[in-house]
Structure 1
């Protein structure tokens, strides 16, 4: 993105930004810290969106981040603007998101947006969340953003009937997608090992190839350079002269 804007002079990337989506579990990984270091030292227009639900799979965030609040821990991190708040409140979440996006777009600097939300279901379908106490589960459901969203929209912005119709339409779309997925044929076993290594077929999106870039000519013919004997003799001669 920066290469397109600054080196190639592409006008279409002047206000583009990078967005990283993660959670309170991912901030305990080395990839997060590497990305954070690169973005802040290079002053890149990168937005780190960290959705904090208090759990990384089955481990509470307090065991992965001191104090359980990555935004507070990074408050003194030079070159990083912090935006944090209640992700279950529609108005506050929308305002924080708009502010974070505007900052990165206009200032061309990195920022972190950390909305706090409950995790109402398990990490995956087989996760029954037995590691949570009944009190934790009850407290999380009390923060259900769905109820807050309805209270925010009805009746100020839409009617009760309009809300019901939106729910029905969303359910219909979800059912249609599920049915389409279930109708897809089972993958053929002989294709499982395809593209483990590059087979000449490029991706349809992402990278430079879809934009017409061509790699320079290369060859698979080995051209060994031989031993670096000259350097070795010089090294030996230098060592002997200094030790002599």
Structure 2
């Protein structure tokens, strides 16, 4: 994939390119992680070159980055999984092989999101939404059934004493709560299909995640 578009950064139009990342982009991909997750976030949880090499080798179609003036400013990564892998409860680590995606199923019907991030200075330019849109296009291009992934619920800890994770998720959809991650995914067209306990170690989300999908409308229309 390679596409160019205009986004607005601080009210000014700038041209970005969204494309597949390759081995030559590894340093830029790690730099994105450093900016998005600065200390005290553990540096050993940033992408490493071995993980990135697996991404571009096993499923290059699911390895996308956003570039501005030769600098990488955002990325999104996915893998294909099958129904067997999705059976029962799962965690981010189990679904993504800890970010290495060695469990990528070439014939899997679901594109599972591993990670999406945009550097702080560009987060209001809509790049995250465009990266997600490009993954939807990848789903359609490959003829897959859907896109799926777990989204953090970072505002849930404020309400966890009085509402369950499922009630919180329903409340976001109903407009009773606003959550920076889940509200973003809803604006991107993702739909909630449930919650997952012990999805990732995340105190703000009380270790829960919302499972959010986007179904291929062309597959659904074909029955």
Q: Greater Rg, structure 1 or structure 2? A: 1
Q: TM-score, normalised by structure 2?
A: 0.23
Greater length-normalized contact order (CA 8 Å, ≥ 6 residues apart): 2
